[in-house]
Amino acid sequence: MKTIGLIGGTGWISTQEYYKQINERVNKKLGGLQFPRIILYSINYSEIYACNQNEDREGVYQIIKTGAETLNNAKVDFMALCANTIHFTYDKLQKEFQLPIIHIADATGLAIKTKGLKKVGLLGTRETMELDFYKKRLHKLGIEVITPDKPEREFIHYSIMHELLKDNFNEETKMGFISIMNKLKEQGAEGMILGCTEIPLLIKQNDFDLPLFSTLEIHVEAIVDFALQE
């Protein structure tokens, strides 16, 4: 079994789900008292937030790079970034480090293709919805991605930053997300990517009538599969 390196704290709410679900899935596959070796580097999210406020992408990269260096020095076999947004650093990280990095959008795209869908809605942070680092990997798989209008993107981003990252999940926010998802459905979306790893903790499949793609759960499954490969 490979040693897993996780870069988390982006935020801690979903990172603890990564840790829990990775352990549960490995044990389900192997049985007994088998659990994975995991080394977690958890970031102070306020540092990421400060950089994002100034659109300082390089500053964010340096924070993530420090985590990757720590995990590399700890001799992990591969890495995973426990958030969708910070995957904008992926290409640069992969060039600097020889370790495999399991990309959340690639895993999500394969899950969407398995369902045979061609057009999906994407919900996430402002960066995930507005930058192209996420959409272009799905486009390569033949998947069209649509996002909400700007006021709705701002609502989603605000809710993530000021509620979900603080472990605050309420019904009013949930209904706001569902309303936005219904608008994307009217625009032809055949499914929805819950493209922030906190969103699946707010919205569940039984809340909506189109397929929901929990990037957290999909990413966890890809991480576990890779860890158990011979």
User: Is residue 230 predicted with pLDDT exceeding 90?
Assistant: no
Query: Are 159 and 109 found together in one domain?
Result: yes
Distance spanning both ends of the chain, measured CA to CA: 8
Query: Are 97 and 109 found together in one domain?
Result: no
What pLDDT score does 227 carry? 98
Q: What is the mean pLDDT of residues 164-178?
A: 95
3 secondary structure, DSSP code: P
Query: Are 93 and 111 found together in one domain?
Result: no
Query: Are 144 and 97 found together in one domain?
Result: no
CA 60 to chain centre: 16
**What CATH code is carried by the domain that includes residue 26?**
3.40.50.1860
User: Is residue 156 predicted with pLDDT exceeding 80?
Assistant: yes
Query: Are 59 and 117 found together in one domain?
Result: no
Query: Are 11 and 88 found together in one domain?
Result: yes
User: Is residue 206 predicted with pLDDT exceeding 80?
Assistant: yes
Alpha-carbon distances, residue 130 vs 84, 122, 127, 141 (angstroms) = 13, 10, 5, 19
**Residues 6 or more apart in contact with residue 50 via CB below 8 angstroms:** 56, 59
Query: Are 108 and 91 found together in one domain?
Result: no
What pLDDT score does 188 carry? 97
Cβ proximity of 110 and 37 under 8 Å = no
Query: Are 206 and 115 found together in one domain?
Result: yes
Q: What is the mean pLDDT of residues 198-220?
A: 95
User: Is residue 34 predicted with pLDDT exceeding 80?
Assistant: yes
pLDDT, tens digit (0-9, with 9 covering 90-100), for 88-143: 999 999 999 989 999 999 999 999 999 999 999 999 999 999 999 999 999 999 99
Cβ proximity of 177 and 199 under 8 Å = yes
Query: Are 185 and 222 found together in one domain?
Result: no
What pLDDT score does 10 carry? 87
Query: Are 22 and 55 found together in one domain?
Result: yes
Query: Are 148 and 81 found together in one domain?
Result: no
pLDDT, tens digit (0-9, with 9 covering 90-100), for 52-81: 889 899 999 999 999 999 999 999 999 999
What pLDDT score does 196 carry? 92
Among 15, 21, 16, CA closest to 222 = 21
Domain count, the chain: 2
Other C-beta atoms closer than 10 Å to the C-beta of 158 total 12
Provide the domain limits for residue 66.
4-103+218-228
101 secondary structure, DSSP code: B
For the chain, percent of residues with pLDDT exceeding 70: 100
For the chain, percent of residues with pLDDT exceeding 90: 93
Residues 174/122/130/97 CA torsion (nearest 10 deg):
110
What pLDDT score does 191 carry? 97
What pLDDT score does 128 carry? 93
142: left (phi over 0), alpha (psi -120 to 50) or beta: left
Query: Are 72 and 116 found together in one domain?
Result: no
